[in-house]
Amino acid sequence: MGARQLHLNLFLLDTGHHEASWRLPSSDPHANLSLEAHQHLARVAEEARFDSLFLADSPALFGEPGRRPSGRLEPTVLLSALAVSTQHIGLIATASTSYNEPFNLARRLASVDHISGGRAGWNIVTTAGDAAARNFGLEGQPLHKTRYERASEFLEVATKLWDSWADDAIVADKEAGVHAVGDRIRPISHVGPHFSVEGPLNLARSPQGHPLLVQAGSSEDGKEFAARWAEAIFTAQPTLAESQAFYADIKRRVAEVGRNPDHVLVLPGIVPILGETEAEARELEAELDRLIAPEYAVSQLAQLLRVSPDRLSLDEELPDDLPAEDEIEGAKSRYTLVVDWARRDRLTVRELIGKLGGGRGHRTVAGTSVQVADTIQHYFENGAADGFNIMPAVLPSGLEAFASSVVPILQERGLFRTEYGGGTLREHYGLPRGQRNVSLRWASSRGR
């Protein structure tokens, strides 16, 4: 067995993760709707040998539309186009278990896996917020616990559907006139509290067996769900100590449910801001922060904190009487991260807005390529990460700089691949083929 290797995922977000990136003279403010912009970024990441790229999504308008580009192309549609523009890089789409049905989504994701030759992944979200709920005929969001109960059953149904075709169901025997063996394709006959699905899926098993399962929740319910289902976890941890604690907690939970901790990769987000010198990088960071429009940022922060915007004064710290986490039915873990961060560092609202504007709670590193590489290596070698979710502050320049200057350092240190070693996303991540619910029911058909 070779030395342990880093895994790198590219988190794509229109003009970059800093909310003011679209205001830079070099930015294309319409990149969020441009296939060509996404194709360029995917190719740059593939040339740098990234494991995968990932598209965030929400079934509601993405944030305050005055603040930054807020429209989003539907991820599975966009990834289908990127699949034919690339050859190796993994393609991960975000999709909600609260506002989809298992059959339709299982089919869409398996279709991307087929189209891409086994490079599809699913970032599983339960979706917080009343705005999304109202788009689907509900008055408000379901309870946090209810959303995770539905998500768990959703995954049960989806994996059963992917497993409803045996590996050898298609024989394509022209001589005998048999394309598929009927008893190697079975209904799932699922009946549960949230779903009743007969099956089978109307699509043969995809190249990976199952698309890679990714999760990003860090609440107690989210971590329990991740321990059962996730194969890669995206997480926001602003310090090394918090990253180490999260990493150890996840690995422990995974082992406790009888899974192999090495088969669940923890990938914290990191926002690299690169310069020839540290001073140059910090000047770019300061320029971006100066371009934040505070009126929009305060409104967005107030929404997260569940308070009225007029209670947030730019040059004062957060109010003392904010709700406790157990009173929050939305994004619990992100709420706690932001409040704890502000309290610990005694940040004013203006300072907090600046920090959140760059990475929304993810670790931001402004410095030279060596400094960024050193940070990545230190986390990787000290029990804090299996790799990173790379979130360039500005796109495409931030990705181009990372690919041309940081990746070669990681390669020279023997920490990151110089060539792809396999064809599927699971092979990039060193994970086994997806197959959860296949049992002896297929044994009688395999010998035929």
Whether residue 324 is contained in a domain is answered as: no
Question: From CA 417, how far away is CA 414, in angstroms rounded?
Answer: 8
Whether residue 399 is contained in a domain is answered as: yes
Whether residue 106 is contained in a domain is answered as: yes
Selection from 269, 262, 221 nearest residue 243 by Cα: 269
Predicted local confidence at residue 355, as pLDDT = 67
- Specify the amino acid at residue 254: V
Question: From CA 55, how far away is CA 94, in angstroms rounded?
Answer: 6
**pLDDT cut 90: percent of the chain above it:** 68
Whether residue 338 is contained in a domain is answered as: no
Predicted local confidence at residue 327, as pLDDT = 58
Q: Consult the annotation and say whether 38 binds a ligand.
A: no
Per-residue model confidence as pLDDT tens digits over 170-188: 999 999 999 999 999 999 9
Q: Consult the annotation and say whether 52 binds a ligand.
A: no
Whether residue 252 is contained in a domain is answered as: yes
Whether residue 126 is contained in a domain is answered as: yes
The CATH code of the domain that includes 39 is 3.20.20.30
Domain span including residue 31: 7-272+364-446
Q: Consult the annotation and say whether 94 binds a ligand.
A: yes
Whether residue 421 is contained in a domain is answered as: yes
Q: Consult the annotation and say whether 348 binds a ligand.
A: no
Q: Consult the annotation and say whether 148 binds a ligand.
A: yes
Per-residue model confidence as pLDDT tens digits over 49-84: 999 999 999 998 876 777 778 888 999 999 999 999
Q: Consult the annotation and say whether 219 binds a ligand.
A: yes
Question: From CA 117, how far away is CA 115, in angstroms rounded?
Answer: 6
Strand, coil or helix: what is 44? helix
Predicted local confidence at residue 319, as pLDDT = 81
User: What pLDDT tens digit does each residue of the chain (448 aa) get?
Assistant: 468 999 999 999 999 998 889 999 989 999 999 999 999 999 999 999 999 999 999 998 876 777 778 888 999 999 999 999 999 999 999 999 999 999 999 999 999 999 999 999 999 999 988 889 999 999 888 888 899 999 999 999 999 999 999 999 999 999 999 999 999 999 999 999 999 999 999 999 999 999 999 998 778 888 999 999 999 999 988 889 999 999 999 999 999 999 999 999 999 999 999 999 999 999 998 898 888 777 767 777 777 777 877 788 777 788 877 766 565 555 556 677 778 767 877 878 777 776 666 556 678 899 999 999 999 999 999 999 999 999 999 999 999 999 999 999 999 999 999 999 999 999 999 999 987 654 434 443 333 3
Domain tally, the chain: 1
Whether residue 137 is contained in a domain is answered as: yes
Give one DSSP letter per residue of 6-35, joined into a string: -EEEEEE-TT-SSTTGGGSTT--TTGGG-H
Q: Which two structure tokens, joined as six digits, stand for 265?
A: 């990769």
Check if the beta carbon of residue 214 is closer than 8 Å to that of residue 230.
yes
